Chains A and B, each alone.
Chain A
Amino acid sequence: MLTGVLLTVPLIPAFKEVRRKTDAEPLNVIQRHAGDIRHFAHSFAEVIQELKPVLERCQRSGAGARGVLAGGSEYLVVGNSKNIPGLVKQGEAFMCSTVVAFVAEFVCPGSVIFGQEIYAHQRFTGGAHNQYRAILGENDVSLGPASTILRWAHSEKVLTAAARCHLYGRISAAQLIRVEQGCTFLRINAPRIELGTPLSAKESVGVSNNAVSGRHPGRLLYDGDFEIPAGEIIHNNIVTRGRLVIRAGARVEGSVKSNKDMLLEDRVTVEGSVISAERMLIGRNCVVHGPVIAERKMVIRTGTHCGDPQEPTTVSSPEIEVEEGVLIFGTLWARQSGTVVGRQ
C-alpha cells in the first residue's frame, strides 16, 4: 500500500500536466530577425514613422513638440533649438527621460543621460561623457569622448565613437564606423570599420587584396604543431591539431585552422578563413579574406585588414583586443569584451 502511494505521488503533477497542457507548446525557435544587428533599429524606425507628420511640421517651422507615442512613451521633438528642453539635473549629469527626436543638425552638450531612444534626422554630434540608451541616425552620428551606448546605435551614414567610449549592444552603420583608441565594444557591423586612424599607404607595407575566389583547395592535416616558413606560399587548407605559426610574409591560398594557439606574423596573407580553437595573434599588416574566429581570445595588430569591400567578413572571439590602424569590412563581434588599444 505504502509502496503504491510512494510510486503514485510523483505521477500526480505528471497526470495534471498531461491533462492541462500548460507547457506543451513547441520551443520557440523561429527567431526570424533576432540575429540581425539592425533589428532594434528597424523596430524603432517603425515607431518613428508614427511621428512623421509631427517631425515634418517641426522641420518646416523649426519649433519643437511634445506628445505620447502609441506605445505609451513620451516623446520630445527638438526643432532648431540648440538646447534640449526639460533636462533634469542628476548629480554631475543631466537626465532626459523621454524619447527624443532631433529634426535638425544638433550638437549635444556633454554629461547628458538619455534614458530612452534618440532619433536624429540630421547630423548628430554628442558631447563628452554622455550616456545613450539607443540612437537611430539618418545621417552621421558622432559620439563624444567617454560616451556610452547601452543597447544599440545605428547610423544610415557614418558612426564615429571618440576615445574611451563604451559601446554595449549592437552598433551598426550603412557606410562606415570609426572607433577610436580606448573604446570598448561588443558587436559592430558596417561595410567598413576603422579602428583608430587607418595606416597611411606608406605605413601599411605589404597589404595586398588579391583574393583567390571560387577555388576549393585540398586539406593538409597535421597531428601536432606546424609552422609555415616566412615568405612561403601554400596552396592548401591547413589544419593542425596543435599550434600553428605562420611566419612573416607567408601566403596561404586556402583557410587555416589550429586546435591550439595560432600566430600570424607580420604581413601574412590568408585567402580563406582563419580559425583557432584557443587564442590567436594576428601580426601587423596581415590580410585575411575569410572569417576570423578565435574561441578564447584574439589580438589583432595595426595595419591588418579583414575582409574587403566586395566580400565583407566576420571577426569574432569572446575577447578581442584590436590595435588602432586595423580595418575590418563587415562584422566585428566580441562576445564578452572588445577593446581598441594604441599601437605597440
Chain B
Amino acid sequence: MVYLLYSIVGVICIYTARHYWFTLNRLFGFQRHPYIDIDTADWPQVTVLVAAHNEEKVIANILSALMTVNYPQDKMLVMPVNDRSKDRTRQIIDKFVKDFPGRIRPFHRTSGKPGKAAALKDAMELIATEVTLIFDADYIPGAGLIKQLVAPFFDPEVGGVMGRVVPLNCGTNLLTRLLDLERSGGYQVDQQARMNLRLVPQHGGTVAGVRLSALREIGGWDDTTLTEDTDLTYRLLLHGWKTAYQNRSECYEEVPETWSVRIKQIMRWAKGHNQAMMTYTVRLLFGKHLATFRERIDGALLLGVYIMAPVTILGWVFALILFYRGVAPFNGIVALLSITTYAAVGNFAAFFEIAAAVRLDGNRNRLAVLPFLALGFVVSIFSVSRASISQVYGYLTKAELHWDKTERFRTAP
C-alpha cells in the first residue's frame, strides 16, 4: 500500500510540475499566435453549425450575432441544428430563416439518436464546405470571430480549431465567479501554453471548427461518445492533424448558475473524458500513429485529468490507513500529497495558473475570490469521483451512457 501511495503522489507531482511549466511558459515563454494576423485572404466557404436542443432562451441571441459578423455574407451559411426540441426553438429559427433569406439553412432533426455528437453527425451529411464551425446555442460570437476561427485552416496541417470561452454571466453569484476564474486559467494559461509548446490543445466542441477532409479521414463524428470534442481531439491527433488554439478568438458563453447544474455538467464531462481515456491512452502512448513524442506524453496526461480526482481521494484514503496502521516513513509523502493535490486537480486549472491567467487578462480585484476555489475544488473532486465510480458501475452492468443537456439561465426573448 505504501508503494501505491508513493505512485499516486508521484503521478500528482507530475501534474503539478506540468501546471508550473504551463504557467511559467505563459508568463515568460514565446507566445504562439500564428494565425491571428490573417485579416486579408480569399476566405473559404464556411458552414456555421449551431447545436440547439430546447434552446428557446438563447437561440435568438446567437443567430442575431451571427447575422452581424464581418465574414463575407456570400461565403457563410448558418445551419442551426435543432435537435428534437420541444420548446419554441423551431419557431424562433424559422423566423430568422424568413428574416435573412439565403443565409440560414435550418436542420430540424425530429428523430434519431439523442446527443450533440449524433446531431452533428447527421448535420455533417448535409455539409459540403471544407471548413465547418461549431457553436453551442448559448454562445454569442463577436463580429470578427468567424474570420479568426477560419484563419488557422489556411495551414494545411490544422484539422481543428478552438477559440477561447469567456463567461458572460460571471457576476451572478459565487459559483459563476469561480467558473469564470476556472475558465480563465483553463484557456488563458493551459490551452495557450499547450499551443505554445506544440502539445495538445483541446478541441472544445464549441467556438471551434473542423476541416471536413480531416473529419472524413478520421471517420466523422463518433456518436457513441459523451464528449465528442475530446474524442475529436484525439482522433485528429492520431492521424497527424493539429488542433490550433486561438486565445484571442474569444466568445461569450453562459456558465451554470446553480451547483446542481454545475455538478451535472462536470459529471458529464468527466464521464466523456474518462471514456476517451479508456479508448485512447494506450494507443496514444504506444501505438503506431502520427502524433509526436511530446504530443503522446501531454495527450496521455490530458486524458488523465479527470481520473486524477478519484486517484487523489484514493491517495488520501491510503495515507489515512497507513497512518492508523502506524506505518512510519511517509510523513513527507503526506505533506507532498497535501501540497500537490490542490495544485494538480481543479478541472485543469490549478491555483497558480488561475492567478496568472487573471493577471494576464488585466483583472485585479477578482483575484480576491481565489481562496473560494477550494470550495469549487471540493465539489469538483467529489462530483468527478462519483461520475467515475458510476461509470465503472455502468460499464459492469452494461448500462448505456446518456447525454444530459446543460440548463440555460437566460430569459427567453
Is chain B found bound to chain A in the same assembly?
Answer: yes
The chain A residue sitting closest to B174, CB to CB, is A18
Q: Which of B32, B40, B168 contacts A313 (CB 8 A)?
A: B40
The verdict on B326 contacting chain A, using a C-beta distance below 8 Å, is no
The verdict on B393 contacting chain A, using a C-beta distance below 8 Å, is no
The verdict on A43 contacting chain B, using a C-beta distance below 8 Å, is no
Q: Which interface residue of A259, A293, A307 has the most chain B CB atoms within 10 A? A: A293
Interface bracket on B: 35 or more
Given A26-B252, A31-B142, A241-B292: A335 and B37 interface contact (C-beta under 8 Å): yes
Given A277-B34, A291-B154, A312-B40: A16 and B290 interface contact (C-beta under 8 Å): no
Given A13-B368, A239-B156: A293 and B252 interface contact (C-beta under 8 Å): no
The verdict on A11 contacting chain B, using a C-beta distance below 8 Å, is yes
The chain B residue sitting closest to A254, CB to CB, is B156
Q: List A3-21 residues whose CB lies under 8 Å from chain B.
A: 10-11, 13-14, 16-18, 21
B166 CB contacts on chain A under 8 angstroms: 26-27, 29
Task: For the complex, count residues of A whose C-beta is within 8 A of B.
Answer: 56
Give the distance to chain A from B272, nearest Cβ to Cβ, in Å: 27
B151 CB contacts on chain A under 8 angstroms: 291
Question: 0/1 per residue, B34-52, Cβ < 8 Å to A?
Answer: 1101111110000000000
Is A273 within 8 A of B369, CB to CB? no
Is B143 within 8 A of A32, CB to CB? yes
B180 CB contacts on chain A under 8 angstroms: 26
Q: Please, how many angstroms separate the alpha-carbon atoms of A24 and B181 in the complex? A: 11
Q: Which of A30, A239, A291 contacts B157 (CB 8 A)?
A: A239
Q: Which interface residue of B37, B142, B370, B371 has the most chain A CB atoms within 10 A? A: B37
Question: 0/1 per residue, A278-299, Cβ < 8 Å to B?
Answer: 0000000000011101010000
Q: Please, how many angstroms separate the alpha-carbon atoms of A86 and B171 in the complex? A: 53
Q: Please, how many angstroms separate the alpha-carbon atoms of A16 and B371 in the complex? A: 12
Q: Which of A23, A26, A216, A241 contacts B168 (CB 8 A)?
A: A26
Q: Please, how many angstroms separate the alpha-carbon atoms of A241 and B240 in the complex? A: 10
Q: Please, how many angstroms separate the alpha-carbon atoms of A32 and B164 in the complex? A: 16
Given A216-B213, A257-B155, A316-B37: A221 and B290 interface contact (C-beta under 8 Å): yes
Q: Please, how many angstroms separate the alpha-carbon atoms of A25 and B180 in the complex? A: 10
Give the distance to chain A from B37, nearest Cβ to Cβ, in Å: 4
Is B156 within 8 A of A17, CB to CB? no
Q: Please, how many angstroms separate the alpha-carbon atoms of A63 and B202 in the complex? A: 64
The verdict on B111 contacting chain A, using a C-beta distance below 8 Å, is no
Give the distance to chain B from A336, nearest Cβ to Cβ, in Å: 12
Q: List B359-400 residues whose CB lies under 8 Å from chain A.
A: 361, 363-366, 368-372
The chain A residue sitting closest to B171, CB to CB, is A24
Is A189 within 8 A of B40, CB to CB? yes
B368 CB contacts on chain A under 8 angstroms: 13-14, 16-17, 23
The chain A residue sitting closest to B211, CB to CB, is A216
Given A18-B174, A290-B41, A313-B41: A218 and B213 interface contact (C-beta under 8 Å): yes
The chain A residue sitting closest to B213, CB to CB, is A216
Q: Please, how many angstroms separate the alpha-carbon atoms of A272 and B167 in the complex? A: 37
Is B252 within 8 A of A316, CB to CB? no
The verdict on A331 contacting chain B, using a C-beta distance below 8 Å, is yes
The chain B residue sitting closest to A23, CB to CB, is B365
Is B156 within 8 A of A238, CB to CB? yes
Q: Which of A14, A255, A259, A277 contacts B369 (CB 8 A)?
A: A14
The verdict on B90 contacting chain A, using a C-beta distance below 8 Å, is no
Give the distance to chain B from A198, nearest Cβ to Cβ, in Å: 20
The chain B residue sitting closest to A295, CB to CB, is B34
Q: List B173-210 residues whose CB lies under 8 Å from chain A.
A: 174, 177, 180, 184, 198
The verdict on A330 contacting chain B, using a C-beta distance below 8 Å, is yes
Q: List A159-194 residues whose CB lies under 8 Å from chain B.
A: 189
The verdict on A22 contacting chain B, using a C-beta distance below 8 Å, is yes
The chain A residue sitting closest to B37, CB to CB, is A316
Is B142 within 8 A of A30, CB to CB? yes
The verdict on A46 contacting chain B, using a C-beta distance below 8 Å, is no
Is A314 within 8 A of B213, CB to CB? no
The verdict on B72 contacting chain A, using a C-beta distance below 8 Å, is no
The chain A residue sitting closest to B251, CB to CB, is A29
The verdict on A344 contacting chain B, using a C-beta distance below 8 Å, is no
**23 chain-A/chain-B pairs, Cβ below 8 angstroms:** A11-B372, A14-B369, A17-B366, A21-B171, A23-B363, A24-B170, A26-B169, A26-B180, A27-B250, A29-B166, A30-B143, A189-B39, A219-B213, A254-B156, A257-B156, A257-B157, A273-B154, A273-B155, A290-B42, A307-B40, A311-B41, A311-B42, A330-B41
